[in-house]
Structures are given as C-alpha cells and as structure tokens.
Amino acid sequence: MAANPVESPLLDLSDEELAALTAAAAWYAKRHEDMISALADDTSAAGSGQVDRYLSLHAALWKLGVRLRLPDGLSRVA
C-alpha cells in the first residue's frame, strides 16, 4: 500500500482525528507483534521489508507518545 505524500498532513488533523489514527496504528502494531517477531530472523527481502516497515511504525508511534515494547528478536535502530 502506498500513500501520496502531502505537505504537513498532521497539521490538518483535528485532535480527535490524530487520536483515532494513533489508536488504530497502536492496535495494528500490537495485533501484528507475534507475526513480526517470527520474521525477526527472516533474511528474505519480503521478511526484511515487513520488519523495516514495522520498525518505522514503532518509531512513529514512539514519537507520538505511544510506548509499545518491541517484539522479541527486534532491536531499535538508532
């Protein structure tokens, strides 16, 4: 899935919209934690891509104040 980037989309969100988006992303991250943990040692392009996207989601949620633990086998990339 791809999205067309727009200039500063977060500025256009109401507080309620941002809260809903953050809650949905946190739910998604928690729901897929086991699947991503199972891919931690997968060196295929598909497996690595899924893990990279999950780490990006995790980092974004962290910046929004959502403190989720990383799934087993993953480490935060500095």
18-54: per-residue pLDDT in tens? Answer: 999 999 999 999 999 999 998 888 888 888 899 999 9
Residue 72's pLDDT is what? 82
- 71 Cβ contact partners less than 8 Å away, ≥ 6 residues apart: 33, 34, 36, 37, 40, 54
Region 65-70 average pLDDT: 92
For position 76, what pLDDT does the model report? Answer: 63
Alpha helix positions (H), the chain: 15-31, 33-38, 45-63
DSSP state of 33: H
Of 39, 38, 29, nearest in space to 59 by CA: 29
What are the Cα distances from residue 60, in Å, to 27, 54, 57, 73? 14, 10, 5, 19
Given this model, what pLDDT does residue 78 score?
38
